[in-house]
């Protein structure tokens, strides 16, 4: 593996949501030179203009996956959207509260994301590009506008329509973003077809996460061989991680696939339960962390997914059940309240989990509610919440027992989450 400079660049992005972004091997290389267009062009050359066929081929060659959480193969999505009147949508709204990677990208390397959007628009033969931004962080929009002005001044005008996504968990979901673009309420609706088939106003729509577009920009610039200089033979390239994204010292790091987890977490964190993939993610026990690498395959073998790259080690002294109960309270409050099973099931789940954690309520009721909400909503919010809770029951049976008996050794009931 290549040695990577991990010295903190200490990039503050005006709003203080990403205290530290580390210099990385590919997307975040050279960020100490600032986010300007001239420095970006010196690093990566002109904005790439691939054909659809070429872009599908190189995306397939490196098995590029979407970075919004689902990990869908980008080449398949692009091939499906490569029809007349296509639309490109960059989703930088980052609804997951513990993820800051998209904000870090816009802050440190906005032109890489815009190169990716321009490359995909060129490949699809369209001029219609939209970017969904997080309304709770207005500085992100200002940074995108500044980058677009820079491009226009340099004779590289990219016409983009900007949209401000609502500051709630489900507003960043793909169908909710399409609703926002159409001028309707920024909430999920039922998708009868994938958005690549029928998306914005029924047109083929390539909607992907901002990091995915940054990878496209980088990949189209350096080529598949250059891209595969990092990572493993099975999983070429790099991925962005947000570490401790809802804690006191959040950090965004870019690591090559295959990087050992010990390079990412410190010694104490390696002995703690890890919530991997964010609030919709999966708990892993400390014993599962040993020998684990940042690898889709390794992490899948451990029964989890990397999701959007969020890593939340449980702080010392905390009980994973108490933490999960607090998260489910939050997630229940984030339901849009439109789909019956979610509107009813998530508050019931929060209540049942609270009863289990604080008063020895029945595990059976928690399991029953997890089963009742899965695949029964317009978006995956209930599924993600059930995944979090199910992984808690699977990974921490001893803690579940001790809560049932009221003898948990390490819960901090009074502490704030």
Partner 1 sequence: MSEHQMRVDWPACKAHGICAELLPEVISLDEWGYPIVHEPVKGDVLAMARRTVKACPTLALRLTQPPPRHA
Mask for 171-190, x = binds partner 1 (CB under 8 A): -----------------xxx
Q: Which of 372, 383, 390, 404 binds partner 1 (CB under 8 A)?
A: 372
Contact between 361 and partner 1 (CB under 8 A)?
A: no
Q: Residue 365 or residue 410: which is nearer to partner 1 going by CB?
A: 365
- CB contact set of 302 (below 8 Å; sequence gap of 6+): 284, 288, 292
Taking CB under 8 A as the binding criterion, the range among 107-115, 145-153, 324-332, 373-381 that sits at the site for partner 1 is: 373-381
Contact between 339 and partner 1 (CB under 8 A)?
A: yes
Mask for 319-338, x = binds partner 1 (CB under 8 A): -------------------x
Give the other-Cβ count within 10 Å of 225's Cβ: 11
Strand 205-209 with 238-243, pairing: unpaired
Contact between 198 and partner 1 (CB under 8 A)?
A: no
Contact between 377 and partner 1 (CB under 8 A)?
A: yes
Q: Which of 311, 378, 388, 400 binds partner 1 (CB under 8 A)?
A: 378
Q: Which of 146, 285, 358, 376 binds partner 1 (CB under 8 A)?
A: 376
- What is the CB-side half-sphere exposure of residue 384 using CA atoms within 13 A? 26
Q: How far apart, in whole angstroms, are the C-alpha atoms of residue 250 and residue 30?
A: 21
Give the other-Cβ count within 10 Å of 197's Cβ: 15
Q: How far apart, in whole angstroms, are the C-alpha atoms of residue 151 and residue 130?
A: 16
| Size of the residue set binding partner 1 (CB under 8 A) | 15
- CB contact set of 180 (below 8 Å; sequence gap of 6+): 132, 163, 165, 166, 171, 186
Smallest distance from partner 1 to CB 73, Å: 10
| Cα separation of the two ends of the chain | 37
Q: Residue 76 or residue 363: which is nearer to partner 1 going by CB?
A: 76
Q: Residue 32 or residue 191: which is nearer to partner 1 going by CB?
A: 191
- CB contact set of 115 (below 8 Å; sequence gap of 6+): 40, 44, 47, 48, 216, 217, 220, 221
- What is the CB-side half-sphere exposure of residue 319 using CA atoms within 13 A? 25
Q: Which of 36, 224, 341, 361 binds partner 1 (CB under 8 A)?
A: 341
Q: Which of 340, 359, 362, 397 binds partner 1 (CB under 8 A)?
A: 340
Contact between 161 and partner 1 (CB under 8 A)?
A: no
Q: By the criterion CB under 8 A, which residues form the site for partner 1? A: 188-190, 192, 338-342, 344-345, 372, 376-378
């Amino acid at each position: 593996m290549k040695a990577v400079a991990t010295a903190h660049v200490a990039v503050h992005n005006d709003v203080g949501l990403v205290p530290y972004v580390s210099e990385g091997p590919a997307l975040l290389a050279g960020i100490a030179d600032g986010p300007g267009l001239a420095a970006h062009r010196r690093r990566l050359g002109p904005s790439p203009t691939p054909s659809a066929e070429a872009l599908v081929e190189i995306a397939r060659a490196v098995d590029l996956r979407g970075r919004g959480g689902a990990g869908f193969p980008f080449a398949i999505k692009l091939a499906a959207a490569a029809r007349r009147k296509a639309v490109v949508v960059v989703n930088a709204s980052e609804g997951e509260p513990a993820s800051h990677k998209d904000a870090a990208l816009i802050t440190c390397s906005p032109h890489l994301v815009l190169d990716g959007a321009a490359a995909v628009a060129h490949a699809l033969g369209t001029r219609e590009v939209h970017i969904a931004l997080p309304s709770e962080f207005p500085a992100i929009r200002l940074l995108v506008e500044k980058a677009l002005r820079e491009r226009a001044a340099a004779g590289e005008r990219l016409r983009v329509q900007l949209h401000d996504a609502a500051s709630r968990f489900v507003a960043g979901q793909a169908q909710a973003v399409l609703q926002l673009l159409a001028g309707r309420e920024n909430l999920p609706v039922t998708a009868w077809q994938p958005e690549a088939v029928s998306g914005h106003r029924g047109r083929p729509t390539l909607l992907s996460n901002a990091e995915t577009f940054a990878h496209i920009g980088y990949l189209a610039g350096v080529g598949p061989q250059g891209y595969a200089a990092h990572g493993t033979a099975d999983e070429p390239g790099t991925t962005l991680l947000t570490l401790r994204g809802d804690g006191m010292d959040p950090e965004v790091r870019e690591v090559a696939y295959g990087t050992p987890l010990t390079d990412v977490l410190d010694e104490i964190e390696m002995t703690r339960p890890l919530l991997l993939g964010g609030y919709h993610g999966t708990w892993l026990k400390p014993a599962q962390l040993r020998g684990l690498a940042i690898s889709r395959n390794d992490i899948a073998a451990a029964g989890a997914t990397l999701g959007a790259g969020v890593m939340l080690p449980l702080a010392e002294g905390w009980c994973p059940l108490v933490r999960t109960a607090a998260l489910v309270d939050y997630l229940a409050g984030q339901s849009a309240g439109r789909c019956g099973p979610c509107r009813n099931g998530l508050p019931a789940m929060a209540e049942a989990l609270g009863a289990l954690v604080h008063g020895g309520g029945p595990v059976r009721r928690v399991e029953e509610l997890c089963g009742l909400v899965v695949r029964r909503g317009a978006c995956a919010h209930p599924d993600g919440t059930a995944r979090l809770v199910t992984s808690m029951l699977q990974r921490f049976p001893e803690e579940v027992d001790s809560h049932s008996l009221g003898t948990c050794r390490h819960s901090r009931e009074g502490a704030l989450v």
